[in-house]
């Protein structure tokens, strides 16, 4: 089942020079393809839409501030079960709980700066792709 997902390499990943490392793991999966890719500093209005489900949570304001703090890489990745697949490559939200071998498990320590975002369902992917790539079809 071919799908598309919205992926962000967060500002910590870009600052630390991990774009190539993380992109390589995604590119290495058979039958997945990068369909769009851009280095982009995310503005507040984009982030408010993207993280709407987290408004009011204690981590929301520092999360948005962190996500604005430097450029991210924004990508569209397409392929077989790619929504579940990129989440599996990323590992769980808390990098200390994430298994070694996962992106968060290999490179992360604190929860906020966990390197990567990936859509968590077909509904989220559709919603997020429209936010970041409104003209992409």
C-alpha distance from residue 99 to each of 18, 64, 87 (Å): 18, 26, 13
The active-site residue out of 114, 117, 119, 125 is 117
Query: Smallest distance from the beta carbon of 79 to ligand IDP, in angstroms?
Result: 20
Q: Which is nearer to ligand IDP, 39 or 97 (CB)?
A: 97
- C-alpha span between 87 and 68 (Å, rounded): 22
27 within 8 A of 34, measured Cβ to Cβ:
yes
Binder of ligand IDP out of 21, 120, 122, 126 (CB under 6 A): 120
**Touching ligand IDP, residues 61-90 (CB under 6 A):** 63
Kindly provide the residue ranges of all beta strands, DSSP E only, lying in 1-137, ordered along the sequence. 2-9, 32-40, 72-80, 116-118
Options 25, 29, 81, 112; binder of ligand IDP; rule CB under 6 A? 112
Taking the least distance from each CB to ligand IDP, the nearer of 23 and 103 is 103
Residues 32-61 that bind ligand IDP (CB under 6 A): 59
Alpha carbon distances (Å) from 82 to 30, 54, 65, 72: 11, 24, 28, 20
Name the segment binding ligand IDP (CB under 6 A); options: 25-33, 36-44, 70-78, 106-114.
Answer: 106-114
Is residue 132 within 8 Å of residue 35, measured between CB atoms?
A: no
Give yes or no: 50 in active site: no
**Residues taking part in catalysis:** 117
Catalog residues that contact ligand IDP under the rule CB under 6 A. 59, 63, 93, 111-112, 114, 117, 120
């Amino acid at each position: 089942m071919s799908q598309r997902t919205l992926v962000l390499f967060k500002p910590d990943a870009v600052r630390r020079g991990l774009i190539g490392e993380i992109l390589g793991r995604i590119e290495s999966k058979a039958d997945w393809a990068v369909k769009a890719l851009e280095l982009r500093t995310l503005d507040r209005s984009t982030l408010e839409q993207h993280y709407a489900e987290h408004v009011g949570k204690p981590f929301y304001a520092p999360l948005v501030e962190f996500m604005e703090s430097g450029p991210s890489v924004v990508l569209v990745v397409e392929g077989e079960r790619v929504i579940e697949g990129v989440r599996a490559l990323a590992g769980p939200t808390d990098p200390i709980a994430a298994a070694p071998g996962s992106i968060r498990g290999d490179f992360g320590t604190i929860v906020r700066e966990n390197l990567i975002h990936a859509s968590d369902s077909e509904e989220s992917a559709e919603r997020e792709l429209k936010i970041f790539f409104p003209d992409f079809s």
